[in-house]
Amino acid sequence: MYIKPSIAQLAPYVPGDQPPKSKSLIKLNANENAYPPSLVVEELLRTFDYANLRYYPDATSQSLRRAIADRHSCPQEHVFCGNGSDEIIAYLFQVCFEEQDSIATPYPTYTLYKTIADIHRIHTEYVPAQEDYSIDVEALVKTNAKGIFIANPNAQTGLLLGMDAIEKLLQAYQGLVVIDEAYIDFAPAHASAASLVDHYPNLVVLRTFSKSYSLCGIRVGYCLADRSLVMALDKCRDSYNVSTLSQAMAEAALKDQAYLLSTVQRVIATRERVSQALQLMGFSVLPSAANFLLCTPPHDQAKGMYEYLITHQVYVRYFNSPRLSDKLRISIGTDEEMDVLLSLLSKYIY
């Protein structure tokens, strides 16, 4: 079968291992939420009239868009829903860039931006993070790329880029600015760029139900953007890109802000406790505003630890790539799961 050379030569996106689910397995490698989704979602599934599934979904996810607009106090015309925020990232490449254009993104960051850019034959310019892994905003602007992609908090590092830096970027740069806020609910209050969408038509803020709402499995994300961009995304999306059940579950989850808040607070409390414990064991740990920690074990033991943990059914993430290969990225699980992890790590060290 003929495959376009530009596709045949692609390096595929590598997600965290998805080992077969089992009770004894502790999965801390994909930044999934430690807690189940809201009971409002369970109730919806229990009472859902399955006969409705013979109809196509609402093509525009109207009701969900309205609920999201309410939540952000923004016009409904600023909201677009996708089959995961990953799908929206792919649409942005179709809508905003031509072949051979360039995007700029920090290194390290979420590797999917480059994977999708490669599919569309768009060049990715990686801008190295500073020594302390914080994002070099000035260098991103200086690339003169047609778009800048920033995960905030940043994937891999968990570091938060302050709002002042984001505003400075928007004032200095006219190209597309994508702020991917997959982890923003785990960050301190007022860290989101969502309210800036009104003022900067080149800004896209990406959100997902995957992480803080514990709904990776339903694949729903959304973006907030200028209405002209939302209209363009609507032209280019699959006609029924979000399933009926997914729309309904996302809307249900959105209603239960109290549950969101309580699970997020538990994750944050565990994150801070585990960060302290790791530092006492000699790890250095980046300050995280997300639901994971990027940490450097003492004596360059990252890879050995990663493999040792797997033999004990604990999966964390190891990246065999520059500036990450001496580190482990550990998603925050329940307190019980993290205690198992900590005791294995201390056994390995001592």
Ligand X SMILES: *Cc1c(COP(=O)(O)O)cnc(C)c1O
Does residue 57 interact with ligand X by CB under 6 A?
A: no
Confirm if 273 and 334 have CB atoms less than 8 A apart. Answer: no
- Full DSSP string of 78-98: GEEEESSHHHHHHHHHHHH--
Distance of alpha carbon 117 from alpha carbon 113, whole angstroms: 6
Q: Report the nearest approach of ligand X to the CB of residue 115 (Å).
A: 12
Scanning residues 178 to 217, which ones bind ligand X (CB under 6 A)?
180, 182, 208, 210-211, 216
- Contact flag: residue 32 with ligand X (CB under 6 A): no
Q: Report the residue number, 221 or 297, with the smaller CB distance to ligand X.
A: 221
Number of shown-chain residues binding ligand X (CB under 6 A): 14
Nearer to ligand X, 81 or 285 (CB): 81
Told to check if 221 binds ligand X by CB under 6 A, we report yes
The only residue of 137, 140, 151, 249 in contact with ligand X, by rule CB under 6 A: 151
Name the minimum Å distance from CB 248 to ligand X.
17
Positive or negative, the Cα torsion across 314, 317, 320, 326? negative
Q: Which is nearer to ligand X, 151 or 264 (CB)?
A: 151
105: contact with ligand X by CB under 6 A: no
Which amino acid, residue 338? M
**Pairs from 188-194 (Cβ < 8 Å, separation ≥ 24):** 188/160, 188/289, 190/163, 191/152, 191/160, 191/162, 191/163, 191/289, 193/152, 193/163, 193/166, 194/72, 194/74, 194/224
Q: Is 117 in the site for ligand X (CB under 6 A)?
A: no
Query: And the tokens for 244?
Result: 């009926």
Write the binding mask 247 to 286 for ligand X: x where contact by CB under 6 A, - elsewhere: ----------------------------------------
Residue number with CB closer to ligand X (115 or 202): 115
Long-range contacts (CB closer than 8 Å, 24 or more residues apart) made by 54-61: 55/244, 56/240, 56/244, 57/240, 57/242, 57/243, 57/244, 57/247, 58/244, 58/247, 59/239, 59/240, 60/234, 61/242, 61/247
Residue of the chain from 44, 90, 148, 155 that contacts ligand X (CB under 6 A): 155
Q: State the nearest-atom distance from the C-beta of 299 to ligand X, in Å.
A: 29
Residue number, 87 or 337, with CB nearest to ligand X = 87
**Contact residue for ligand X among 28, 86, 115, 237 (CB under 6 A):** 86
202, 166, 157: which is closest to 292 by C-alpha?
157
Q: Does 110 interact with ligand X (rule: CB under 6 A)?
A: yes
* Cβ partners under 8 Å of residue 274, min gap 6: 293, 330, 332, 338, 341, 342
Of the two residues 263 and 301, which places its CB atom closer to ligand X in the complex?
A: 263
Give 180 or 251: the residue with its C-beta nearer to ligand X: 180
Please report, as ranges, the residues that interact with ligand X according to CB under 6 A. 31, 84-86, 110, 151, 155, 180, 182, 208, 210-211, 216, 221
